[in-house]
Amino acid sequence: NTDKLCCYYFFQSNKTLGEFIIENQNAFQYSSGELSRIINSIRLAAKVVSYKVNKAGLVDIVGAAGERNIQGEDQQKLDVYANNIFIQTLINREIVCGIASEENDDFITVEGSDSSHNNKYVVLMDPLDGSSNIDVNVSVGTIFSVYRRITPIGTPVTLEDFLQPGINQVAAGYVIYGTSTMLVYTTGHGVNGFTLNPAIGTFYLSHPNMQFSEDGNIYSINEGNYVHFPQGVKDYIKYCQLEEGDRPYTSRYIGSLVSDIHRNMIKGGIYIYPTSSKAPKGKLRLLYECNPMSFIVEQAGGKASDGFNRIMELQPTELHERVPFFCGSMNMVKKRFVYNIIYIAGCKT
């Protein structure tokens, strides 16, 4: 048995992301390999960005780049860098017909030397989420999501190709630039995590079949905004803090979406970014942050909601749309969901 176990771990730890992608591609009978090439490009760009992020404290690249993005936020230099790397990698390889990024006002139509219009996928991404954390040496992440285009192949992409509900995603994932760099993704058949060995630049399968536990004991929310939260959210926070059964829960909030959800997926917990009187629609973006993270969360057995509806069933109406976000361990999000309904129905218990 011990031999078997050793053999198992030896095998697991020696499978590279490249090998995993090829194996996965073979599992789809009529696969053209396009999706595999997209994941491969993201893998490459992630390594480049990881290298740069790790050098952030060494060279003079920290701080705002002096530009503001469409949300009116200061852009950090590394945001711009990561945005360019991911976009250029995808464009150079001529494997997608369109790209939308949190850092760009509008979507990009990819017109390659042959005809990239003939490609069938669009990529949406947040190239460097939580970038205000870079200056203080705290983890940041990249979030991406892949959709099959809706408009006919061979024509330029339109807004319609990007404004698709999350249930249409064919792949989604994130890269976490933490104590080590990890790439975690799903193509709708579970969630797998790969850790970068920086010495040789190779991602290895380190977290096969990642799963949320049904229950958890971590809640992650920016409690500094407490006074601005809806009553239902205030009640839920008090519920988490109550001494009863397995409560009070532990509070953990990094302020870096990828890191907060990654930790909760491994340890069990709920992440909340609700509406508030300061941010009536919430802060996080449906297309670049919530949909891809929801696909991962659901594939790992968790739940993702805007407080009332399943995130992935929301019909987007604009590229940079924001939504409230509750995601994590199934029973925690269900409870939260119930709390909101009770509050809204006006019969708060």
Under the rule (CB under 6 A), what is the footprint of ligand AHM?
73, 126, 129-131, 222, 255-257, 260, 283
Q: Convert residues 202-241 into a mask of x (bound to Mg ion by CB under 5 A) and - (unbound).
A: ----------------------------------------
Q: Which amino acid is at 317?
A: T
Residue 81 CB contacts under 8 Å (≥ 6 apart), including other chains? 49, 52, 61, 128
Nearer to ligand AHM by Cβ, of 165 and 255: the residue is: 255
**Which residue has its beta carbon closest to Mg ion?**
129
- Establish if 129 lies at the interface with Mg ion (CB under 5 A): yes
* E strand or H helix at 52: helix 34-54
Please report, for the chain, how many H helices and E strands are present, in that order.
8, 15
Q: Structure tokens of 224? A: 């500094």
- Cβ distance 226 to 234 under 8 Å? yes
Nearer to ligand AHM by Cβ, of 130 and 302: the residue is: 130
Smallest separation (angstroms) from ligand AHM to the CB of 202: 27
Smallest separation (angstroms) from ligand AHM to the CB of 220: 8
Interaction partner, residue 283 (Mg ion, ligand AHM, none; CB < 5-8 Å by kind): ligand AHM
Nearer to ligand AHM by Cβ, of 36 and 305: the residue is: 305
Nearer to Mg ion by Cβ, of 278 and 348: the residue is: 278
Nearer to ligand AHM by Cβ, of 192 and 256: the residue is: 256
Residue 187 DSSP class = S
Interface of this chain with Mg ion, residues 268 to 287, rule: CB under 5 A: none
- Cβ distance 304 to 311 under 8 Å? yes
Q: Structure tokens of 131? A: 């970038």
Q: Report the sign of the C-alpha dihedral through residues 174, 177, 179, 181, in that order.
A: positive
Smallest separation (angstroms) from Mg ion to the CB of 80: 14
Smallest separation (angstroms) from ligand AHM to the CB of 230: 16
The span of 27-35, 126-134, 201-209, 262-270 binding Mg ion (CB under 5 A) equals 126-134
Nearer to Mg ion by Cβ, of 129 and 306: the residue is: 129
Interaction partner, residue 73 (Mg ion, ligand AHM, none; CB < 5-8 Å by kind): ligand AHM
Question: What is the strand order of the sheet 140-148 is part of?
Answer: 108-109, 98-101, 121-129, 140-148, 169-177, 181-186, 191-197, 202-207
- Cβ distance 233 to 222 under 8 Å? no
- Establish if 298 lies at the interface with Mg ion (CB under 5 A): no
Q: How far apart are CA 148 and CA 286, in angstroms?
A: 18
DSSP string over 141-201: EEEEEEEE-SSPTTS---GGGT---GGGEEEEEEEEESSSEEEEEESSS-EEEEEEETTTT
Q: Which of 126, 161, 235, 298 binds Mg ion (CB under 5 A)?
A: 126
Residues that bind Mg ion (CB under 5 A): 126, 129
